[in-house]
Copies of this chain bind each other. A is one copy, B any other.
């Protein structure tokens, strides 16, 4: 690449899947990215744009000459175009919309009319449907006659009533394996679900995952067929949601490897602010016990162990709780059982670490009472961490706050404050 050997580069890129080209573009720096794009000359595969990380799309679109861009987006399916342009700035959006054929442009603009992150944004409008009274033969003839306008990938023929309301669907496998004279209604699948066009995409992904759907018809308020969502779209959503959950649990906002330093620092700042506030709260607790610390400095030495153990135990149980809530496995019906189980598990590990830390403290400082103090603090703190780690996410969920985002700081605050208070409080009572 460095040598500027554009012919060889073009030949190399030719062999790569668009997703791999996108990955390649994401990994080089901005100047190199520009070089590669310009070397490509007149041809640029629209799918590379779709595969690109959102943060980079604007940059790449700005690099491309308008006519190359127009050519690139014209080959995309309507759902990919929607996905591509929904996060772009107004002028870039316009440029791409102008490049589309009229019918596609209308389709894309209608899709953009649906709420963000709804089924309407996710679906493709190219649908393969057939009226109820058709036979297999009629359906096959229809498909052969409209070969050009069929979507690239489709897995079912959706059977609709005269009002274009879906009544079921037939898998292509059954269609192929049945005689021409068989009626479509005889081949309908047992399980059939329609998706309302305004349903949030997270629920769409849940349904695909739970019911092993491959594709599902999308209907408007009147029950009329308006599009279809396929499993690859659902898989994408699932992937993004998981990513988001992991990052949220760690207090990182939407961040990608292609963001610049300022964006990164700014994205992480709010969580650190929350954390500094909770840490100061914990310090205020410590400040109440300055007297005992001044007399027995060993307490200052051991104190962080209590906080650290509480924080980790809390994170364990909150992560399990957040995941169980996200997968709808933790509900009102098993809530109390799960909380009781967490409390008992916390108590068990509390006793275990009470023994371990008690022995360590006695050996280290030679004072049995310090061992007793840290042992008691361990039991209470680990139990509080386990219970807090499950109760706080459940409460947040009830209050309609995303538990993945907000549980961390609350749980840490609880474990820190309980930990310091119990440890230093017991120390004051026992040692002074």
| Interface: A28 (CB within 8 A) | yes
Min CB distance A352 to B, Å, is: 7
In chain A, positions 355-414 with a C-beta closer than 8 Å to chain B are 356-357, 360, 412
Task: Assess whether A301 is in contact with B287, with CB atoms less than 8 Å apart.
Answer: yes
CA distance A324 to B23 in the complex (A): 12
In chain A, positions 22-52 with a C-beta closer than 8 Å to chain B are 23, 26-29
Number of interface residues of A (CB under 8 A): 116
Contact partner of A257 among B19, B271, B319, B334, CB < 8 A?
A: B334
**Chain B residues closer than 8 Å to A416, beta-carbon distance:** 304, 308
Which residue on chain B has the smallest CB distance to residue A241?
B242
Task: Assess whether A173 is in contact with B144, with CB atoms less than 8 Å apart.
Answer: no
Task: Assess whether B303 is in contact with A140, with CB atoms less than 8 Å apart.
Answer: no
Q: A177-B143, A319-B252 are in contact. Are A264 and B341 (CB under 8 A)?
A: yes
Q: Mark A193-215, 1 if CB is under 8 A from B, else 0.
A: 00000000000000011111010
| Interface: A265 (CB within 8 A) | yes
| Interface: A225 (CB within 8 A) | no
- The stretch of A60-68, A82-90, A115-123, A277-285 in contact with B is A277-285
Task: Assess whether B305 is in contact with A144, with CB atoms less than 8 Å apart.
Answer: no
Contact partner of A308 among B20, B275, B330, B338, CB < 8 A?
A: B275
| Interface: A13 (CB within 8 A) | no
Task: Assess whether A337 is in contact with B272, with CB atoms less than 8 Å apart.
Answer: no
| Interface: A155 (CB within 8 A) | yes
CA distance A262 to B352 in the complex (A): 12
| Interface: A238 (CB within 8 A) | yes
Min CB distance A299 to B, Å, is: 8
Min CB distance A92 to B, Å, is: 24
Which residues of A line the B interface, CB within 8 A?
17, 19-20, 23, 26-29, 128, 140, 143-144, 146-147, 150-151, 153-155, 171-173, 175-179, 191, 208-212, 214, 231-232, 235, 238-239, 242-243, 245-247, 249-252, 255, 257, 260-262, 264-265, 268-269, 271-273, 275-276, 278-280, 282-283, 286-287, 290, 293-294, 297-305, 307-309, 311-313, 315-316, 318-320, 323-324, 328-331, 333-334, 337-338, 341-342, 344-345, 348-349, 352-353, 356-357, 360, 412, 416, 420
- 6 A-B pairs in the complex with CB atoms less than 8 angstroms apart: A143-B176, A150-B177, A153-B171, A265-B348, A269-B352, A287-B301
